[in-house]
Amino acid sequence: MRRSACIPSVLAGLALALGGTVIAAPAAHADIGACENYVQDQGTEVTDAVRMGCYVGLVGDQSGCVGDLSRAGVAGAVAIEACRQAPE
């Protein structure tokens, strides 16, 4: 492919990638918030360790999320449900 033909394709791909990031970013924060809110509503303080556990759940590692939340002092059943809410 000629170089002049590649440039518009690359720019279009970049615009789509950046546009997808902008659209997805608010949802990511809301997902972590749902996890944190669930933990807090069940009576556990939201600490940095809880936030990290919720983030681990957001990226798809449910067992890691539950383990992190449990180590942060969140009860088992609460940790499981909070981690289920993280990727929604």
pLDDT in tens, 63-84: 999 999 999 999 999 999 999 9
Q: Say if residue 44's pLDDT is above 50.
A: yes
- Residue 38, pLDDT score: 97
Rounded to 10°, the helix 3-41/48-58 angle is: 130
- Tens digit of pLDDT for each residue in 2-41? 555 555 565 555 455 555 444 444 444 448 999 999 999 9
pLDDT, position 17: 56
- Tokens 């449910």 belong to 62
